[in-house]
Structure 1
């Protein structure tokens, strides 16, 4: 019995000495519960909207004040004409526009009825629907307040219009996200595992001391995954177009270039993971927990980033998947070009250069 107890004590000592095991045992569950608890929500908070007020009277001013003072919406800008609606959506600056009709107060007093149009960006149909419901609720509350002291009830009629996805098809949201996840899986995880396998078997050192330069070895290892990832991207786009009737409003050439940029970024991440991983198991764990969860939860694929706490919003900004999803939706659903997507493209390019530079530096350190 003493031997058995001693054996158990030895196992505890081994676990507590291994910081990576302790991190997996205690760090990962804490990180997961925090991520899932704060990121997974059907609510919206601080969603950026724009206002188009043709009337500019007491009633519209009061409604706008109520909407802006709520925790759900943040008035990003005030536009002056109908043609500005398409422009603000293409820039991706707002998720909705409230369009108040001309003579809103006059119509409310004379006809006891006035209308406001709720125009939402339906590239994310769940968020668009939620925004519409929240605005309707605020309008209904304001309508009740008006009717308290009125013998003839006033009626505010909300008219909802969904742009880019009027039928609210969920496939319009899932195709960009699934494409991002698959490219990240093939590029980052498979690359990190492949290189770590060579190091684990001891063959990487043999390759690195061969006449081939270290950078050529690394490029040679990752090049097949670039090719495979490009094929995956083509297959996903073809299936989404012909099977799910996903539109491609923008340039296919630009979509291809942006996809290659993201693939290279993911590959650089895979190489970086392999530099800090000694075994395939460690590389897979880091890839799954360090990349997959953020891609699903913090990229804006399923859950709106604006509804998350500020620290998670900051973290989401350093995730390449967030910028790639914005690019895909911009090209495929909005039909915009590089003039609208330059910021996202430069961000993704900057991240790619940073990851590559850091990976090369790490490998040089390992070779000394």
Structure 2
């Protein structure tokens, strides 16, 4: 469940937040300023990453303290992997915000791009190995499967970076690709 909350809420907040500025016209203040593309994107994404990191900690506390879920892994590794996953999901929200013009479209596209693939291809409902060749390939192209492996490995199996480093590396590559794509697609000056 931690993966499902973290794949849906951060990109939704990011996408709706940036699109709302475009709809209300307040983004024109940024267009007129001397802020660079990188500074703008960092300033836009940092609060959402911060909120999502707090959510990860709260969800971990609820799972372990309230529901008594066993946590057998390394807490620092889990936290690092969660921050990386949160950065990845806010990057998805950034891409959605660059592709749509209205808040309603941002909500719909975020649900279709995150929640539906995460439910079907993350290993949450059924093991990835039972999806067949095409389903397994699609699962490996999405970040939810890698974070699900990290959550299950940390909570139930007690494994850490020595076993889960390929999943962490895949999340890092996915995050870097999303931020590079967002940086390249973002235009400081609107097209006429």
Instruction: Please say whether Structure 1 and Structure 2 have the same fold, judged by a TM-score greater than 0.5.
Output: yes
Structure 1: which 5+ runs fail to align? Answer: 1-177
SS at match of 2:134: helix
Correspondence for 1:263 among 64, 77, 86: 86
Residue 245, structure 1, aligned to residue 88, structure 2: no
Measure the CA separation in 2 of the matches of 1:292 and 1:311: 19
Alignment deviations for residues 234-291 of structure 1 (CA, whole Å, 9 cap, x no partner): 1111111112211111111111100000000001111011111111111111101121
After the TM superposition, which residues 272-311 of structure 1 pair with which residues of structure 2 at under 5 Å, given as runs? 272-311=95-134
Measure the CA separation in 2 of the matches of 1:283 and 1:205: 19
Correspondence for 1:233 among 56, 67, 75: 56
SS at match of 1:248: coil
Alignment deviations for residues 14-43 of structure 1 (CA, whole Å, 9 cap, x no partner): xxxxxxxxxxxxxxxxxxxxxxxxxxxxxx
The verdict on how the C-alpha distance between 1:218 and 1:365 changes in structure 2, with shifts beyond 3 A counting, is closer
After the TM superposition, which residues 311-322 of structure 1 pair with which residues of structure 2 at under 5 Å, given as runs? 311-322=134-145
Measure the CA separation in 1 of the matches of 2:148 and 2:48: 21
Measure the CA separation in 1 of the matches of 2:174 and 2:43: 22
Alignment deviations for residues 95-143 of structure 1 (CA, whole Å, 9 cap, x no partner): xxxxxxxxxxxxxxxxxxxxxxxxxxxxxxxxxxxxxxxxxxxxxxxxx
After the TM superposition, which residues 41-190 of structure 1 pair with which residues of structure 2 at under 5 Å, given as runs? 178-190=1-13
Measure the CA separation in 2 of the matches of 1:340 and 1:305: 18
Correspondence for 1:340 among 134, 157, 163: 163
1 or 2, which has the higher strand percentage? 1
SS at match of 1:308: helix
8 Å contact kept, 2:37–2:183: no
Q: CA deviation at 1:225?
A: 1.3
Q: CA deviation at 1:366?
A: 6.2
8 Å contact kept, 1:250–1:337: yes
Alignment deviations for residues 287-343 of structure 1 (CA, whole Å, 9 cap, x no partner): 011211111111111112222232222111111011001011112211112111111
Measure the CA separation in 1 of the matches of 2:5 and 2:67: 18
> Which structure is higher in RCO with an 8 Å CA cutoff and minimum separation 6?
2
Q: CA deviation at 1:345?
A: 0.7
Measure the CA separation in 2 of the matches of 1:208 and 1:366: 6
Q: Which has the larger radius of gyration?
A: 1
8 Å contact kept, 1:316–1:322: yes
Q: CA deviation at 1:205?
A: 2.8
Q: CA deviation at 1:209?
A: 2.4
Counterpart position of 1:79? none
TM-score by length of 2: 0.93
Residue 210, structure 1, aligned to residue 51, structure 2: no
Alignment deviations for residues 171-230 of structure 1 (CA, whole Å, 9 cap, x no partner): xxxxxxx11111122211110111011112222132132122232222222222111111
Counterpart position of 1:175? none
8 Å contact kept, 1:208–1:214: no
Question: How many residues end up aligned between the 2 structures?
Answer: 191
Measure the CA separation in 2 of the matches of 1:309 and 1:205: 48
